[in-house]
Amino acid sequence: MARHRVGTAPAGHRIQLPPQLTPFINRQREQGQLRPLLLEQRLLSLVGPAGIGKTRLALELAASVSKRFPGGGWFVELAPLREPEMLPRHVARSVGIEEEGGGDAFHQLLEALAEARALLVLDNCESLVEASALLVDGLLRGCPHLTILATSRERLGVDGELVWRVDPLDTPQAGRPYTPLQLARLDSAQLFVDRAWRSHPDFAITDGNASDVAELLRRLEGLPLAIELAATWSGALTPHEIVTRLDDRFQLLSTRHRAMNPRHASLRAAIDSSYDALQDVERGVFRQLGLFAGGWSIQTMAAVCALEQAPALRVLVSLVDRSLVTVAGDPGGTTRYRMLDVLREYAADKLREAGELDVAWRRFTASFLRIAESAAGRLTAAGGERRLQELGAEHANFRAILAADAPSDPAQALRLASALTDYWRLRGHYTEARLHLRAAVRRAPAYTPDLVGALQSLGMLAFLQGDQADAMRWTRRALAISERTSDRHGSLRALEQLARVQFASGDLASARACLERGLEPARRLGDPEILCTYQLLLGQFALAERRADDGVELLAGALELARRADHVELSAVASGLLGRLHLLRGRPDLAQPLLMDTLTSVRRFGSWRHVAPVLESLAAVAADEGQHERAAQLAGAAAALHEQVGARPPAASPVRAPLADRWARAVATGQGRRAFERGRTMDLDGAIRYALGEAAAAVEERDPAPRGSVGLTRRQLQIARLVAHGLTNREIADRLFISERTAEGHIEQIRNKLGFSSRVQIAAWLVEQQRAGGEGG
């Protein structure tokens, strides 16, 4: 190897890169964004977790700009190094500089590269991050025309560094079917097919395996290393068989190629090096974060890890910097964090190996029980919308606790399920709520107030889904236990609920007997909330029996009690019933303002349950006024809400039946059926806005977003922002009070309008809009 004169580039005029044996799959958008940055910035760091594809992206990027660096360029692999003092000599050798009698390698580098307009690619800087940072800083200061492209699992922390976090490849959305052609548009699928074909030349995505390939890619979360390792099994296993073995993904995802870099020989090996580099306290926290199924805030992390918030934040920032934790966004005002599932499973394995699982799990469940119980009973009071959002953000963590095969504390599981009942009810998760409550009741200790509350909740949820027999069974059991244990509150609530089920079933005599049995004790107890529920049902009796004046008095009194108790939901119920009473009396002028007030109130806490009956009532108003298209559209929106929560409105209801007759005639025409179907496509917020007559929002496609958003509606732009913050379809649905299927449809429309195939592209587009000073962000 020749010696080089000071100030000359040692290797001619081309970038020397290792040859690649497989094609690079897409990432065209990232390359398009990174190329100008690499030409403008002197230090660009590609940062991300193990297996995310940093090295391959850097190689492709360097090759694409080679002509812009007449001084040449070099690729330097740092992973094999262990001694920081060897780093300058290793880099010097890699760029072609011979040792000169024990001379200082760093100064030889400076002399050789001083005037060269060259590119230096430093790969895997995390192996010696401090030494890499010192070297890079010195080279940039001493070589004014040098550009450095670094890959690392953590930032270098050097002045002037531009950090680009490498995202996973786009993956199929959960909950929607894919054709082979649709999958073929996704980068993750293209990578899987190419690598699978190399193991099994006959492999292709077909109608028969498309759903399994989609599920496999979702489970692998767009990690290129995981996708490549899974694809090597295609010669021996079908996609379905690979999916079924992913519960032991670390065993499955190891290479079958003998010549592969040991760091990439298995998914576990790739993560091991990151874990081994952590300090002891960071390892301890990392292990416990493996318990979080749905991300976390700094507050929940500190509680679960038994740390004060300040040290918890320091550790968390370190884990984010090392690409072991991802910032998931803060659309609700509180920053949240998450791990890729593969990292979470690795952390949970380490927690078990360390013998810390039982203690950590107890803290985890206790922390989330506190969160749920602190919000329970206050979701429909002032500030309830914020509390609903907070519970929605933690929903996956609640699910993980309740789905445990054998809860460590059955009484605690019962308390958690009971505390979440109002959240599930308001968000329309009726089926899920019944599932968790039944499991908790089955394991619960007998005869406790918590058990009574859970049984009542099961009865109420069954009633809401039109399952009258189950509603009766659970409620009667709650009444029997509460009377046996002298639980006055429990007895009164159970009697009122039993009366409500009987009333809706048309058994007015039994319902009245239950009401009369509980009314006087309820008055003596003096609890305004319980008394309000009794008075509401008495008002419905009056309404059904055509005792209009009595009904007005009773419902107005119930409304006053609800307001006195600051109970937004009961206030909405009372005003809605009062509106329907006026409607049945033939006074739509008095009914409509009350019904509109109800919608305005329930909008604050997003209750699916209370919107549908009001929409049906307003449909009756519209039908009476000859607005048949509006009547049919409102009825369609109500029907969709009933279906989305799995509810069957009681056909025998003496309140609903006469109103339904009015709008049913409007739906019977051809034009009415089309309007009904339009209503069925509306989400909760859109239906409320349409009902309230907010004309600009009546049909979303007529509600353009601000300039710069290329035809997106305001709702679509709102959803695009949530996508950019990293929210899943389910999280977006919970945030905006829409169904998951509606959220998915909006995202599909956004991609079609923008010409994109992935959520990553939506996020990048939004960033570009903000940089350009547009209104997209």
Per-residue pLDDT at 775 exceeds 50: no
* Mean pLDDT calculated for residue range 565-592: 86
pLDDT, position 708: 47
Q: With cut-offs at 50, 70 and 90, classify the pLDDT of residue 661.
A: confident
Q: How many residues are recorded in the chain?
A: 777
Window from 530-539, 614-623, 717-726 with minimum mean pLDDT: 717-726
What CATH number was assigned to the domain covering residues 15-165?
3.40.50.300
pLDDT, position 39: 92
Which residues have CB under 8 Å from 232's CB, separation 6+?
195, 199, 255, 256, 257
pLDDT top residue among 573 and 608 = 573
Q: Pick 703-771's CATH classification: 3.40.50.720, 1.10.10.10, 3.50.30.30, 3.10.20.440.
A: 1.10.10.10
Going by C-alpha positions, the residue among 569, 562, 577, 494 that lies closest to residue 531 is 562
* Mean pLDDT calculated for residue range 404-419: 85
CA 253 to CA 120: how far, in whole Å? 32
pLDDT top residue among 49 and 2 = 49
Per the CB < 8 A criterion, the answer to whether 289 and 349 are in contact is no
Q: With cut-offs at 50, 70 and 90, classify the pLDDT of residue 335.
A: confident
Q: How buried is 109 (Cβ within 10 angstroms: 0-12 exposed, 13-18 middle, 19+ buried)?
A: buried
Going by C-alpha positions, the residue among 500, 565, 501 that lies closest to residue 539 is 500
For the stretch 264-299, pLDDT in tens is: 457 788 888 889 989 999 999 999 999 999 899 999
Q: With cut-offs at 50, 70 and 90, classify the pLDDT of residue 734.
A: low
pLDDT, position 643: 78
pLDDT, position 312: 92
Going by C-alpha positions, the residue among 536, 624, 625, 612 that lies closest to residue 581 is 536
pLDDT top residue among 637 and 409 = 637
**Two tokens, residue 31:** 């390359």
Place of tokens 């082979």: 180
Per-residue pLDDT at 774 exceeds 50: no
Q: How buried is 774 (Cβ within 10 angstroms: 0-12 exposed, 13-18 middle, 19+ buried)?
A: middle
* Mean pLDDT calculated for residue range 94-116: 81
pLDDT, position 771: 58
Collapsed DSSP state (helix, strand, coil) of residue 274: helix
CA 88 to CA 109: how far, in whole Å? 8
Bridge partners (DSSP) of residue 713 are: 704
Going by C-alpha positions, the residue among 689, 685, 683 that lies closest to residue 742 is 683
Q: With cut-offs at 50, 70 and 90, classify the pLDDT of residue 100.
A: low
For the stretch 176-211, pLDDT in tens is: 788 888 888 898 999 999 888 888 888 899 999 999
pLDDT, position 246: 83
CA-to-CA dists, residue 336 to 321, 325, 390, 613, 725, angstroms: 15, 10, 11, 36, 10
DSSP string, 53-107: SHHHHHHHHHHHTGGG-TT-EEEEE-TT---GGGHHHHHHHHTTPPP-TT--HHH
pLDDT, position 500: 92
Chain centre distance of CA 138: 43
Going by C-alpha positions, the residue among 131, 99, 125, 111 that lies closest to residue 44 is 125
Q: With cut-offs at 50, 70 and 90, classify the pLDDT of residue 603.
A: confident
CA atoms within 13 A on the CB side of 199: 19
CA-to-CA dists, residue 636 to 420, 518, 674, 738, angstroms: 30, 38, 10, 16
pLDDT, position 738: 64
Per the CB < 8 A criterion, the answer to whether 612 and 638 are in contact is yes
Per the CB < 8 A criterion, the answer to whether 521 and 555 are in contact is no
Per-residue pLDDT at 699 exceeds 50: no
Angle (CA) 4 6 12, round 5°: 50
CA 632 to CA 289: how far, in whole Å? 50
CA 197 to CA 205: how far, in whole Å? 10
Q: With cut-offs at 50, 70 and 90, classify the pLDDT of residue 255.
A: low
Per the CB < 8 A criterion, the answer to whether 775 and 710 are in contact is no
Which residues have CB under 8 Å from 489's CB, separation 6+?
482, 525, 527, 530
pLDDT, position 737: 56
pLDDT, position 258: 44
Q: How buried is 83 (Cβ within 10 angstroms: 0-12 exposed, 13-18 middle, 19+ buried)?
A: exposed
Percent of the chain with pLDDT over 90: 38
Place of tokens 């899920």: 432
**Two tokens, residue 262:** 């040991």
Place of tokens 């004060």: 308
Which alpha helices (H) appear in 668-709, and where do they start and end? Answer: 670-680, 684-691
pLDDT, position 554: 92
Numbers of helices and strands, H then E, in the chain: 39, 8
* Mean pLDDT calculated for residue range 108-131: 91
Residue 74, φ and ψ in degrees, nearest 5: -145, 145
CA-to-CA dists, residue 661 to 619, 651, 681, angstroms: 11, 11, 23
Window from 17-26, 224-233, 570-579 with minimum mean pLDDT: 17-26
Strands 326-329 and 147-152: unpaired
Strands 326-329 and 336-338: antiparallel
For the stretch 473-505, pLDDT in tens is: 999 999 999 999 889 999 999 999 999 999 988
**Two tokens, residue 597:** 């007030």
Q: With cut-offs at 50, 70 and 90, classify the pLDDT of residue 608.
A: low
Residue 185, φ and ψ in degrees, nearest 5: -80, -15
CA 23 to CA 63: how far, in whole Å? 13
For the stretch 216-228, pLDDT in tens is: 999 998 889 889 8
pLDDT, position 703: 39
Bridge partners (DSSP) of residue 120 are: 74, 148
pLDDT, position 11: 46
pLDDT top residue among 277 and 382 = 277
Dihedral of CA atoms 567, 570, 571, 577 in degrees, nearest 10, equals 180
Average pLDDT, the chain: 84
* Mean pLDDT calculated for residue range 233-237: 85
Greatest mean pLDDT among 196-210, 248-262, 654-668, 711-725 lies in 196-210
Per-residue pLDDT at 302 exceeds 70: yes
Dihedral of CA atoms 80, 83, 87, 92 in degrees, nearest 10, equals -80
Q: What is the pTM of this model?
A: 0.74
Window from 143-152, 523-532, 594-603 with minimum mean pLDDT: 594-603
Q: With cut-offs at 50, 70 and 90, classify the pLDDT of residue 606.
A: low
Angle between helices 588-605 and 684-691 (to 10 degrees): 150
DSSP string, 204-228: ---TTTHHHHHHHHHHHTT-HHHHH
Q: With cut-offs at 50, 70 and 90, classify the pLDDT of residue 102.
A: low
Direct distance between the N- and C-terminal alpha carbons of the chain, in angstroms, rounded to an integer? 54
